[in-house]
Amino acid sequence: MIDPLIDILTYPPIQRAAIACVLCGASCSLLSVFVVLMKMPLIGVSMSHAAFAGAVLGTLAGINPFLSGFVVCLLAAGVLGPLSDRTDLAPENMLGILFSFLMGIAFLGMGILTRTKAGVLNLMWGSLLTLSRFDVTILAVVTGVLVLFVAVFFKEIRAVLFNRRLARASGVPERMIYYALLFLTGAVVSSNLATVGGLLIFALLVQPGATALQLTYDMKHFFLISAASGVGACASGLVISYIFDLPSGASVVLTATVIFAAAYVFSPKRRRARLKERNRII
């Protein structure tokens, strides 16, 4: 089974798919730390739909879907940031409205698209085997920027994830960190449209972080476990999709779910909490 896999890796489209898979896993899983710990999965879902809607509009207008997806993502980040800072609005409601609005735009675009919809559907589900060198380069640059951002601002990110208000009170530029994370979410989501697609990417923005949450109390380990689980899900999902001839995006997402389920079942944190609870009752 190993030899055919190694053989197939000599083909450039497969090489690109493998590299993109690792980059997709790394970038989405790093962001999922932010999405999970700030309890903002709706931001992740809104951004992924913004990217998708932008890409559909780009296809309609005949421009690069990554570029249009990226622009709409940045616009969405610009709206989401101030919205989530407003105390007189329920952010969940506003995010729900924004999410459905973006979904409406995407489907409207698809409805009036007279050409074949295959390209647009690829943006929804992803298509690893049709990735261009340009797609992979963009993904590599965005992932590199994200990794650099996390490495350089790790202590500030930890303070913001812990408590935004306390971080601000302690002189941490929490708004800069928060908005940068939002914009990076937009960049990561739009650059991954071609890999796992605008709909399935949401799973990768939540599951790696949720997996790490089951396993560690250390923030550095949290980032590492999340990254390992995201990259692992993407790589093994790709291999499974090749072996069983399944859609790659769906295989990746289902593998991520299995990894999360295993982490949940064998979670040492949950086991310790159960023991503590039992001792308390005794």
Partner 1 sequence: MNEQLIALDRVTVRKTRTVLLDSVSLAVARGELVGIIGPNGAGKTTLLNVIAGFERFEGVLSLFGRPETHRRSRESRLRVGYIPQSFPVDPSFPILAVEAVMTGAIGRTGLFRSPGRRQKEEAMALMETMRLSHLAARPLGQLSGGERQKVSLARAILQRPDILLMDEPTANLDIAVQKEVLDLVDEIHRKEALTVLFVTHDFTMLPVAMGRAVLLDHGRMLFDGDIDTALSGETLTRLFRYPLETFRQKGRRFISYD
Residues in CB range of 239: below 8 A, 6 or more apart: 5
Q: Which two three-digit tokens encode residue 37?
A: 């710990």
The answer to whether 210 and 72 have CB atoms below 8 angstroms apart is: no
Could you say whether residue 269 binds partner 1 (CB under 8 A)?
A: yes
| Interhelix angle 41-61/174-191, nearest 10 degrees | 50
* CB closer to partner 1 out of 177 and 199: 177
Could you say whether residue 85 binds partner 1 (CB under 8 A)?
A: no
* CB closer to partner 1 out of 74 and 180: 180
Closest approach of partner 1 to the CB of residue 156, in Å: 6
Length of the chain: 282
Could you say whether residue 167 binds partner 1 (CB under 8 A)?
A: yes
- Distance between CA 96 and CA 114 in Å, rounded? 29
* DSSP assignment string, 150-191: HHHTHHHHHHHHH-HHHHHHTT--HHHHHHHHHHHHHHHHHH
Could you say whether residue 280 binds partner 1 (CB under 8 A)?
A: no
In this chain, which stretch among 98-106, 142-150, 161-169, 187-195 interacts with partner 1, using CB under 8 A?
Answer: 161-169
Instruction: Draw the binding track, 209-238, toward partner 1 (x: CB under 8 A; -: no contact).
Output: ---xxx-xxxx-xx----------------
Site residues (CB under 8 A) for partner 1? 37, 39, 88, 152-153, 155-156, 158-159, 162-163, 165-173, 212-214, 216-219, 221-222, 269, 273
